[in-house]
Amino acid sequence: MNVHETQGPEAAEAEVQIRTGQLRLHRAEDFEGMRRAGRLVAELLDMLAPLVKPGVLTDDLDRLAYEFTMDHGAVPACLFYRGYGRTTCISVNHVVCHGVPGGRSNLVLREGDIANIDATVKLDGWHGDSSRMYPVGQVAPRAQRLLDITHECLTRGVAAVKPGARFSDIGQAIQSYAHAHRCSVVEDFCGHGIGRLFHDAPSVLHYDASASREPGARSQANIEMRPGMFFTIEPMINLGRKEVKVLNDGWTAVTRDKSLSAQYEHSVGVTEDGVEVFTYSPAGLDKPGSRP
Ligand code: MF3
Ligand code: CO
Ligand code: CO
């Protein structure tokens, strides 16, 4: 999610929630809804794994994702979201996020590419949002290294989730690991509250915003986690510098220095004693390089 975006009709409510730290708290049956939506999007990402090969058209992957979603009684949350026209985002190599399947210069996957596929399904009113990296054929060691580091960043971000922790703990965990490995953390896009809404408060920043000069970023980072909060963690990590720019299509975000970028995303809920990840792969394909 873009850190600067307002949140539609719910914007005012979200702002109050952020100011008071009172984020929406969900009940046991809401966890059930998120489990089903999370499992479905994870199955969708599993289904695509064996199909991501050199020569495959990104548009074909997107159409399969659309059909899979509809066949399972869900709807693609990205389709028609702010004018977006696809089920998935497919972001290849130096594309940070929001790569448009079938878009000019994003038609076909080639040997050595690293591709992020991001999908969000809405099932019985609940959103499951997840993304993974897919190596296309054999990838270079530095690309594989970036996937490993980025996945570890997500794992550490998730591990920072428990009642009483602050959202800044997530950003700190991710940033310190990325920097220790000479990578940068994208600041222009963030995770987000999720549930019945696709993008809810708060913005989940992946960098350490506890000392940010921006009061908005600081106050969101300061919010304390409580059982029943649902949100995504979706760090974008670059081999080079953190700066990004959005191309003329209004969606595709790329690294300014054209360095490789990777991203993994889970939807999670805060439990009484820790965290529940709703979007783990039923086929065990979460980790980089796991082959179906
Ligand atoms: N799934 C993305 C996220 O993690 C959102 C994509 S919005 C779209 O928040 F419109 F580009 F699809
Ligand atoms: Co998301
Ligand atoms: Co997503």
Q: Which of 26, 32, 8 is nearest to 124 (CA)?
A: 32
Tell if the pTM clears 0.75, that is, is over it: yes
- From the CB of 118, is ligand 1 less than 6 Å away? yes
- Is residue 173 very low, low, confident or very high in pLDDT (cuts 50, 70, 90)? very high
Residue nearest to atom 8 of ligand 1 (CA): 78
Four-CA torsion 262, 159, 275, 66, nearest 10 degrees: 10
Give pLDDT tens digits for 71-109. Answer: 999 999 999 999 999 999 999 999 999 999 999 999 999
Residue 5 confidence (pLDDT) above 70: no
153-172 pLDDT per residue, tens:
999 999 999 999 999 999 99
pLDDT tens digits for 6-58? Answer: 555 567 777 767 666 679 999 999 999 999 999 999 999 999 999 999 999 99
Tokens for 266, please give them.
């889970």
pLDDT score of 215: 87
- Domains of the chain are 24-277 (3.90.230.10)
Q: Which atom of ligand 1 is nearest to the CA of 84?
A: 10
Q: What separation in Å is there between the alpha carbon of 106 and the centre of ligand 1?
A: 17
Pocket probe for ligand 1: among 45, 79, 95, 118, the residue whose CB has the most ligand atoms within 8 Å is: 118
Mean pLDDT across the chain: 95
d(CA 156, CA 163): 16
Q: In this predicted structure, what is the pLDDT of residue 66? A: 98
> CA-to-CA distance for 73 and 130, rounded, in angstroms?
18
Q: What is the pLDDT at residue 19?
A: 65
Whether the link from the prior residue into 292 is cis, omega within 30° of 0, is no
Q: What is the pLDDT of residues 233-291, one digit of tens each?
A: 999 999 999 999 999 999 999 999 999 999 999 999 999 999 999 999 999 999 997 87
Residue 9 one-letter amino acid = P
pLDDT of residue 211: 82
Give the integer Cα–Cα distance in Å for 109 and 115: 8
**Residues whose CB is less than 8 angstroms from the CB of residue 213 and which lie 6 or more positions away in sequence, other chains included:** none
Taking the C-alpha atoms of residue 65 and residue 132, their distance in angstroms, rounded to an integer, is 14
**Quick one: pLDDT at residue 123?**
99
Tokens of 191: 């995770």
pLDDT tens for 192-215 read 999 999 999 999 999 999 888 888
Is the distance from the beta carbon of residue 43 to the nearest atom of ligand 1 less than 6 Å? no
What is the Å distance from ligand 3's center to 145 Cα?
A: 22
Residue with tokens 């997107």: 62
- Of 218 and 236, more confident: 236
